[in-house]
Amino acid sequence: MDHARRMLTTVTPRNEIREAQGNNHAGLKQLLATPVKAGTNRWIVGHGTPFHAVAGAPHFSEGEAAVIRPDTSGWTVVARIAVADWQSLGNAPWVCPGGSVCRHTDEVASAHA
């Protein structure tokens, strides 16, 4: 949870993100497919293995992120963000769907307590 707390202010531990949840990662799949309140985002901070198990190859590089869109069939990977891209993203305003500026205090789930 250290990384999540360094990134954002409100962090909630969630067991469904942990690798120990079994081979099908049903809880993580449900979390990825669940829409969030309009104008907010959900940040999931954890290890890449559970995500790789549900999304497939390629495996995350250290510090890489994925942007996910919940949809009627579950969820879709919209983009992957490499470590080299983080600095440029930090200098740009974040725009949510509908044109509102996203807050850095959006919903966060972390694999570690």
The predicted structure's pLDDT at residue 95: 61
Domain extent, residue 90, equals 2-110
Q: Half-sphere exposure of residue 22, counting CA atoms within 13 Å on the CB side?
A: 7
Q: In the predicted model, what is the mean pLDDT of residues 42-58? A: 80
Does residue 97 carry a pLDDT above 70?
A: no
Q: Tens digit of pLDDT for each residue in 8-34? A: 777 887 777 776 656 778 888 888 898
The token pair at 38 is: 């309009």
For the chain, how many structural domains are there in total?
A: 1
Does residue 75 carry a pLDDT above 80?
A: yes
**Is the distance from CB of 27 to CB of 16 less than 8 angstroms?**
yes
The separation between the first and the last C-alpha atoms of the chain, rounded to the nearest angstrom, is 6
Q: In the predicted model, what is the mean pLDDT of residues 33-43? A: 84
**Is the pTM value of this prediction over 0.75?**
no
